[in-house]
Chains A and B, each alone.
Chain A
């Protein structure tokens, strides 16, 4: 089945992205906050196979990056020594998944050379590491906010569809309100009323809750529709005749119908919410420096000279696009599968 292969491919792609982000400490060669005051705005290091003398090497290597004596923020490679790229090198200490301390990194080069796969920012911090660590925040915010939305949607949709009457009526009117409002306006308005200067953890949780709460309406509406269809089935009446409670009926007969929609909605919501978090952090309403979030990284682009001169500062955007792309593919594949299943 073509659609099944599609799902597998799309999910594999997404999984590898998430794995890299989850294991950021291992994949990233450096600490995201470590500054190299000598190398602000260093361009991405070129990984080479052919050395200056024209010899081919099996193991990729780099040349050390040095500041040009005559310019500021201008760099060149010092061609004297080759620094081979090694796998599983020992480097700065980090905690894998925030739990297990370790010093082993996926790749790295020997000091004094440094490998900046995505260049450095104005403090000389390695952007590649920052993108990976930033992903932890942005993607986690997206995932948790999606969970919040779906949970709220499931709860409200189930109650609304199952019990009907005025509960349903008022919930659906409220959903309409949330649906028609431009989400970014709503997001900013809600954010405006909440405290600005709080600890990073609190900010993060606040972001998750605010973003997740704003998006409850669509899943709630979809789930309500499914519950409405499912609760009038004859087998639900039959279940009642055996003395089943509402909870039993919801759990056994109604909820299984919602899984398809929940999955598809999740795949659609996660990228939206990642973008929402990025947007808020970009505006300075989310997590602030030195925490790397994709929004903070992209905020550098608001400086004219950064936008014009340092193209690698666009690379966090690429990460954002890749994640969106991955999720949209999965959503499409799920959707096709649901469609083909229902007809």
Chain B
């Protein structure tokens, strides 16, 4: 498993790189990031003094970075000036919610994209192929921002779905079944937005790589042997088209996370997105860094997952 080991190390280096980059950017700010903190009436002078000694806030960048790394290793992930608590306590719940949203969105978009892409690749030029391609190119030019408002409008107008947040008001009083239903109905708008937004790229990629594979001689031969179209497409051609698609899976996570941020903010989903936005506005340094780091962590997990799948699907990678 040398390959995977290398990928894990790569991921860790990436995380370190991103954190360094964050701190470098934070140093770009004209004036000190911490001057403003002193002006903030929400933060008591004792807090500032405590923070100053703990994080070396007036010390040069490398010291601050080192203190931050120390606090990450200690499980605290820095300190939120606005919330007066450790960043980790803020992030954990938020990260879970974002993860729920993005995982479901990833799952559903692939569940739709693969069969659709495979199906239309078998008959390029047919009306449903052209319809799907036209549809995806239209969908491609509709940004998430517009999609989510469209869906919200629809949800509000039809009264079919609850709007805003993750749960309804009386959530705690509901039984397990009621809670599930409530959560699922709240999930529909954000997940659908994300699925619709990532679908066009995925469908196009699946179709393109399938079209390439279907030209290969061994598929032609299999066709000649009278193997049925469904078996031919999914058992013969799809695995052959697998590698680029799995790599795409890793990449698609990044796009999904950006989309998720926007959708979370607009639908009031209590994920990392609204937290980061709020922290950006109030210049809550360690929360910003923490949010970026957790999104990077998701990214790294996504691509590691893709790597694991690659190794499972394609034994040649293991040898290398």
Contacts and interface: CB of A to CB of B under 8 A. Distances in A.
Give yes or no for direct A-B contact (beta carbon below 8 Å). Answer: yes
B141 A195 contact: no
Given A183-B258, A192-B283, A279-B145, A325 B138 contact: yes
Nearest to A183: B258
A11 B207 CA distance: 27
B267 to A, nearest CB: 11
B177 interface: no
B25 A189 contact: yes
A215 B261 CA distance: 18
Given A275-B143, A284-B281, A181 B152 contact: no
A184 B280 contact: no
A191 B280 contact: yes
A285 interface: yes
A321 B295 contact: no
Contacts of B254: 180-183
Interface in B232-257: 254-255, 257
B149 interface: yes
Contacts of A328: 137, 140-141
B18 A177 contact: yes
Contacts of B300: 180
B153 A196 contact: no
B67 to A, nearest CB: 18
B21 interface: yes
Contact of B291 (A173, A185, A317): A185
A324 B141 contact: yes
Task: Classify the secondary structure of A's interface with B.
Answer: helix
Nearest to A195: B30
B257 A185 contact: yes
A75 interface: no
Contacts of B150: 314
B280 A185 contact: no
Interface in B85-105: none
Contacts of A320: 143, 145-146
B280 A180 contact: no
Interface string B130-168: 000000011011110110011011001100000000000
A290 B177 CA distance: 48
A188 B277 contact: yes
B4 interface: no
Contact of B141 (A185, A193, A298, A325): A325
B262 A301 contact: no
B22 interface: yes
A189 B14 contact: no
Nearest to A322: B141
Interface in B17-52: 17-18, 21-22, 25-26, 28-31, 33
A189 B156 contact: no
B281 A185 contact: no
Contacts of A193: 25-26, 28-29, 33, 283, 288
Contacts of A271: 141
A278 B153 contact: no
B145 A185 contact: no
A205 interface: no
B87 to A, nearest CB: 14
Given A189-B25, A193-B33, A298-B145, A182 B258 contact: yes
B296 interface: yes
A211 to B, nearest CB: 13
Nearest to B302: A180
A72 interface: no
10 contacts: A177-B14, A184-B262, A185-B276, A185-B292, A186-B292, A193-B28, A301-B149, A308-B157, A317-B145, A320-B146
Q: Which 5 A-B pairs have the closest CB atoms?
A: A192-B280, A324-B141, A184-B258, A325-B141, A182-B257
